[in-house]
């Protein structure tokens, strides 16, 4: 380059000079950017038609034959419609030897097709755009092309009205801003990328460094050298820039591993159906980039999305499999979706890994060793153990960088879970999973890396994300130039996330710090409560799946083999896949648009729940019929208990009770039963754990009563005595054995309270701490007695929240139960309010205990530190407990996840009413139940864990008349035969969580999963009524080597909160 006269340079003026020289907005008539496409011609012809639903390529081509010609005035819309185009292109004869691209900008998302194959995604508009598709690298001149374009009437981030996360505009239309064939000047592009990277370096390196000035002045020098813009001159200038980029680092620089990434939300501001197309658009684009850049590697998670592509785009999936073999397309994560990290049950977590790894093995012949969950709203303390037992010892995320109060102290560390299992964990220091590959993000990776001196390696994930898209050619060119530049950390492409973790493990593990327990996100706490109905269905279906798998195991145990159950297992797997999809981290938390939430509720109501109910009913009939035939009983009513302990409790019984036994063998009436005000009949019965029994009504029990005393109502049984006031609150709850009052002095429990709920920005996601300053108590009215005992006593009342919203609640107590029930119906029509219920209790403790997956965690009840203050709202599952020595109080629920315990006030978050991105979030009718349980001693000794399971899983009754010929009586029948239990555990700390058939049915066996629930070293003897032949502990993926001989039982030794899985062969 010819040196120019030395002049004094002003930083800002020089910087902006470079900016304008590569701008696509300013001075494009004379700058470099304006020469990128020196020649262009419009498309030769364009035909189009609109459809409301997604159709196949073949159908589209057929319809396009009769479609009309359109021009650039054609409008794409309204929102969520699909528009297909036939686009004919002709390359001018004079373009011989030129690189030619098709350029399309419809303002929305689109896909290019030809010959039935998706070729590349296109993203219109001004955000994360991708306009170009290469027709030929060297034109012959005169070629003709016919491309098909599938355009979706939505942008990369949906169609929010006046803002991305606002509810969609249903009448959004998009205009075609460009449809042309253009020459692409490779030399101009190379120099453009040089200048863009030089400018990024100059901007990002502190001006205290000489390299910032060298980069800027090199860019200025190049501009001065652009006089003729000839190809030869541009190549000389590119060589000058390359010389700068080849001034390399020393050997001790931080090493950054750059991986292409494309985070695609399975649903968020768009529905599931659009995500299927987003995956195809994004991954087709990445396949093209892989073919062009041999060192480019792309990390792809979420098995559901791969399964979608396999089903809907088989040719693209074949291309993906080839790129997996070449180690450029890297399947990571191994979970069905990137699920919510707080709300799913422990078993649901296990199935995410089980079905994810199963797909990877079947389709790609590999298993993931890296658990990949970059964008969810907190991480359960049991995830490390579950991940490791599913074959993953490494973990990547970055969401904790969003903490609002405290900055997390590490990027690379050992995350130790609840049971002590550790995973090597990395948070990419750039605090994003969608970098643009700029020098700014590379330098941020170094400056924000919190484990300097402990490790010299970090990850940078680059590529457009959330709405898909993935890396672009510009990003790859930028990172190529930043590979080893003096003043910039070293950037490597290639390898794999697994190789990164292995390198850190080998070199740095002994230097790394540890973080123990949950990774609590100090943001998005409202997601524990938003979309209450979806959360209710989630809990209901988790228990329904548990019950159906238990019944299927019972059927298999009766016949001694699993042959014949392939259809049932296939149906169950299909349901699990749909269930796991609905646990995606923007679906189950309730942070999607209304269209998504409506679809998800329909999937539960019209598909998942009916399918499971049909399967359950069929299995129940099989078991009852087999029982009736075995014992020569004309008709049977059996009680089923899928939980692992014997239960004695009140159940609804069939009115036709000739098959029902009592202790006096009365079969024509139920003298000890109670008829309810709605006509139902209830009775006391009992059932063994993990089994069934003939319905036997218990006549002797400690009764419950209700008494009206002045303006209060007293519900009392042998265990507790509750006083309910005329306002519907509980003024007293006495634990009778110790005469201990559970309600705090001068306080009332079951206090409904409403708060203003206006977050800073993320409406559906966030409830902020200042909402606590707006507390407003609510009082009920019209309290009356509904049931008088002897099995259930109840009072009911109404509470008006506002002119539009009401609560109807039944407070009940059952015979022999320590739980005061609150069955609640709410008609909810509020805006930016949150409804909670408070229980001030007569207990003092620095910590409260919350159930999580396969265990529990303690969290502070005080605000001593900023870390404590940030936990003003936390997640929990079926129960929370506040105990001091010798006494405690537990809250139980059947579908709620948002909790807080401040001092001695325990509260449960019931409903929210955000308005974005779902403008009708939670509006309408809701029903849910919760309960309060005072207890003596610890919650472990008081069986709170078991009571909470019972609260969510009522005993199940099934009556079937056997119409077949009964034959002679079974002389071997005895009363003992009327009770059947598959398993028993000698230690209540060891919970049998799951009993199922092996997934692939290649072995005649059951799979059982236990966990240690008390937080102690525990030993339990597991016995079974089934005559198994052998058994062996296995992984969560149901793999093991060899078996031990069965001797009727086996002993399980467990450390605190350990999860163990066994296979038992028939």
Chain centre distance of CA 990 = 28
Task: Report the alpha-carbon angle 238-241-245, nearest 5.
Answer: 130
d(CA 328, CA 900): 46
Chain centre distance of CA 678 = 39
If you write DSSP's letter for every residue of 925-946 in order, what string do you get? EEEEEEEEEEEES-TTTTTHHH
Q: Could you tell me which of 267, 298, 274 has the C-alpha nearest to residue 111?
A: 274
H/E stretch holding 199 reads helix 186-204
d(CA 459, CA 397): 11
Q: Could you tell me which of 284, 21, 28 has the C-alpha nearest to residue 149?
A: 284
Contact 1006, 1046 (CB under 8 A): no
- Region of residue 524 (left: phi > 0; alpha: psi -120 to 50; beta: else): left
Q: Please give the backbone phi and psi of residue 885, each rounded to the nearest 5 degrees, phi first.
A: -60, 120
Chain centre distance of CA 252 = 39
If you write DSSP's letter for every residue of 981-1028 in order, what string do you get? ESEEES-TTEEEEEEEE-TT--SSEEEEEEEE-SSS-EEEEEEESS--
Contact 342, 306 (CB under 8 A): no
DSSP state of 282: H
> Which is the catalytic residue, given 375, 436, 727, 757?
375
Give me the torsion for CA of 885, 889, 894, 896, rounded to 10°.
-90
> Strand, coil or helix: what is 726?
coil
Give me the torsion for CA of 861, 425, 293, 88, rounded to 10°.
-30
Q: Is the alpha carbon torsion for 698, 703, 704, 705 positive or negative?
A: positive
Task: Report the alpha-carbon angle 732-735-739, nearest 5.
Answer: 95
d(CA 271, CA 733): 47
H/E stretch holding 192 reads helix 186-204
N residues, the chain? 1066
Give me the torsion for CA of 930, 934, 935, 936, rounded to 10°.
170
CB atoms within 10 A of CB 660: 25
Q: Is 1048 exposed, middle or buried (0-12, 13-18, 19+ CB in 10 A)?
A: exposed
d(CA 268, CA 159): 11
d(CA 368, CA 366): 7
d(CA 220, CA 234): 14
HSE-CB of 383 using CA atoms within 13 angstroms: 33
Going by C-beta distance under 8 Å and a sequence separation of 6 or more, which residues neighbour residue 407?
Answer: none
DSSP state of 891: E
Contact 118, 133 (CB under 8 A): no
Chain centre distance of CA 39 = 48
319 is catalytic: no
200-226 burial: b if 16+ Cβ within 10 Å, else e: bbbbbbeeeeebbebbbebbbbbbebb
> Strand, coil or helix: what is 957?
strand
Q: Please give the backbone phi and psi of residue 834, each rounded to the nearest 5 degrees, phi first.
A: -130, 130
Contact 512, 422 (CB under 8 A): no
Catalytic residue set: 375
């Amino acid at each position: 380059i010819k040196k120019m006269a030395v002049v004094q340079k002003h930083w800002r003026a020089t910087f902006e000079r470079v900016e304008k020289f590569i701008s696509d907005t300013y001075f494009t008539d004379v700058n470099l950017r304006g020469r990128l496409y020196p020649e262009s011609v419009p498309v030769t012809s364009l035909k189009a038609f609109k459809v409301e639903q997604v159709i196949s390529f073949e159908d589209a081509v057929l319809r396009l034959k009769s479609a009309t010609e359109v021009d650039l005035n054609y409008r794409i819309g309204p929102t969520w419609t699909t528009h297909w185009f036939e686009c004919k292109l002709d390359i001018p004869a004079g373009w011989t030897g030129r690189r030619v691209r098709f350029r399309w900008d419809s303002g929305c998302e689109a896909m290019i097709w030809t010959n039935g194959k998706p070729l590349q995604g296109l993203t219109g508009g001004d955000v994360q755009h991708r306009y170009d598709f290469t027709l030929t690298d060297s034109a012959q001149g005169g070629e003709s092309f016919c491309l098909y374009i599938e355009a979706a009437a939505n942008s990369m981030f949906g169609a929010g009205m006046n803002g991305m996360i606002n509810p969609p505009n249903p009448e959004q239309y998009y205009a075609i801003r460009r449809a042309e064939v253009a020459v692409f000047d490779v030399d101009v592009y190379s120099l453009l990328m040089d200048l863009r990277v030089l400018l990024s370096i100059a901007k990002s390196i502190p001006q205290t460094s000489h390299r910032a000035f060298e980069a800027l002045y090199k860019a200025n020098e190049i501009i001065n050298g652009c006089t003729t813009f000839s190809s030869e001159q541009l190549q000389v200038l590119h060589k000058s820039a390359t010389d700068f980029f080849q001034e390399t680092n020393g050997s001790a620089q931080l090493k950054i591993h750059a991986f292409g990434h494309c985070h695609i939300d399975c649903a968020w501001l768009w529905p599931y159906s659009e995500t299927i197309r987003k995956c195809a658009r994004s991954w087709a684009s990445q396949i093209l980039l892989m073919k062009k850049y041999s060192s480019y590697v792309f990390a792809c998670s979420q098995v559901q999305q791969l399964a979608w592509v396999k089903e809907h785009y088989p040719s693209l999936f074949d291309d993906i499999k080839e790129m997996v073999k070449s180690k450029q397309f890297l399947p990571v994560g191994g979970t069905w979706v990137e699920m919510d990290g707080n709300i799913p049950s422990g078993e649901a977590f296990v199935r995410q890994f089980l079905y994810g790894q199963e797909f990877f093995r079947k389709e790609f012949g590999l298993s993931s060793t890296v658990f990949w969950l970059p964008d969810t709203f907190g991480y359960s303390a049991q995830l490390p153990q579950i991940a490791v037992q599913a074959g993953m010892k490494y973990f990547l995320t970055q969401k904790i960088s969003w903490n609002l109060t405290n900055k997390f102290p590490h990027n690379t560390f050992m995350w130790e879970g609840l049971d002590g299992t550790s995973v090597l964990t990395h948070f990419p220091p750039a605090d994003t999973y969608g970098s643009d590959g700029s020098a700014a993000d590379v330098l941020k990776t170094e400056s924000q890396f919190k484990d300097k001196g402990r490790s010299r390696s970090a990850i940078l994930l680059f590529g457009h994300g959330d709405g898909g898209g993935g890396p672009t050619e510009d990003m790859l060119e930028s990172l190529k130039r930043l590979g080893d530049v003096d003043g910039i950390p070293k950037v490597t492409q290639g390898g794999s996330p697994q190789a990164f973790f292995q390198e850190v493990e080998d070199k740095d593990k002994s230097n790394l710090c540890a973080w123990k327990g949950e990774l609590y996100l100090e943001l998005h706490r409202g997601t524990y409560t938003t979309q209450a109905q979806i959360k209710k269905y989630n809990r209901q279906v988790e228990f329904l799946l548990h019950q159906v798998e238990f019944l299927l195991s019972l059927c298999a145990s009766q016949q001694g083999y699993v042959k014949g159950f392939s259809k049932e297992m296939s149906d169950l797997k299909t349901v699990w896949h749909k269930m796991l999809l609905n646990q995606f981290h923007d679906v189950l938390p309730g942070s999607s648009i209304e269209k998504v939430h409506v679809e998800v509720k329909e999937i539960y109501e019209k598909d998942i729940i009916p399918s499971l109910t049909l399967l359950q009913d069929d299995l129940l009939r099989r078991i009852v019929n087999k029982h009736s035939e075995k014992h020569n009983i004309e008709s049977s009513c059996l009680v089923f208990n899928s939980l692992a302990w014997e239960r004695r409790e009140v159940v609804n019984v069939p009115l036709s009770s000739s098959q029902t036994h009592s202790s006096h063998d009365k079969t024509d009436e139920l003298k000890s039963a109670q008829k309810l005000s709605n006509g139902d009949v209830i009775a006391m019965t009992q059932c063994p754990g993990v089994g069934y029994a003939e319905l036997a009504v218990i006549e002797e029990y400690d009764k419950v009563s209700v008494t009206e005393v002045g303006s209060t109502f007293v519900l009392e049984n042998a265990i507790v005595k509750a006083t309910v006031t005329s306002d519907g609150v509980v003024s007293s709850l006495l634990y009778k054995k110790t005469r201990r009052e559970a309600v705090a002095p001068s306080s009332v429990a079951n206090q409904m309270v409403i708060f203003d709920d206006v977050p800073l920005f993320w409406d559906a996601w966030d409830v902020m701490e200042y909402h606590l300053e707006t507390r407003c108590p609510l009082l009920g009215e019209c309290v009356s007695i509904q049931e008088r005992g002897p099995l259930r006593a109840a009072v009911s009342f109404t509470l008006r929240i506002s002119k539009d919203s009401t609560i109807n609640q039944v407070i009940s107590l059952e015979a022999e139960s320590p739980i005061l029930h609150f069955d609640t119906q709410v008609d909810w029509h509020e805006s930016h309010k949150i409804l909670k219920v408070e229980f001030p209790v007569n207990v003092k403790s620095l910590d409260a205990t919350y159930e999580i997956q396969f265990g529990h965690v303690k969290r502070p009840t005080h605000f001593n530190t900023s870390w404590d203050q940030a936990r003003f709202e936390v997640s929990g599952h079926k129960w929370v407990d506040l105990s001091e020595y010798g006494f405690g109080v537990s809250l139980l629920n059947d579908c709620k996840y948002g909790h807080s315990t401040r001092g001695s006030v325990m509260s449960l978050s019931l409903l929210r009413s955000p308005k974005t991105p779902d403008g009708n979030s939670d509006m309408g009718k809701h029903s849910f139940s919760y309960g309060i349980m005072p207890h003596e001693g610890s919650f472990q000794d008081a069986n709170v864990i078991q009571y909470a399971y019972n609260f969510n899983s009522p005993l199940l009754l099934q009556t079937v008349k056997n119409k077949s010929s009964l034959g002679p009586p079974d002389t071997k029948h005895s009363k003992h035969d009327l009770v059947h239990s598959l398993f028993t555990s000698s230690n209540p700390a060891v919970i049998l969580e799951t009993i199922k058939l092996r997934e692939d049915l290649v072995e005649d066996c059951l799979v059982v999963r236990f966990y240690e629930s008390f937080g102690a070293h525990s030993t339990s003897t597991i016995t079974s009524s089934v005559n198994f032949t052998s058994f062996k502990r296995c992984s969560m993926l149901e793999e093991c080597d060899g078996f031990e001989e069965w001797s009727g039982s086996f002993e399980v030794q467990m450390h605190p909160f350990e999860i163990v899985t066994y296979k038992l062969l028939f």
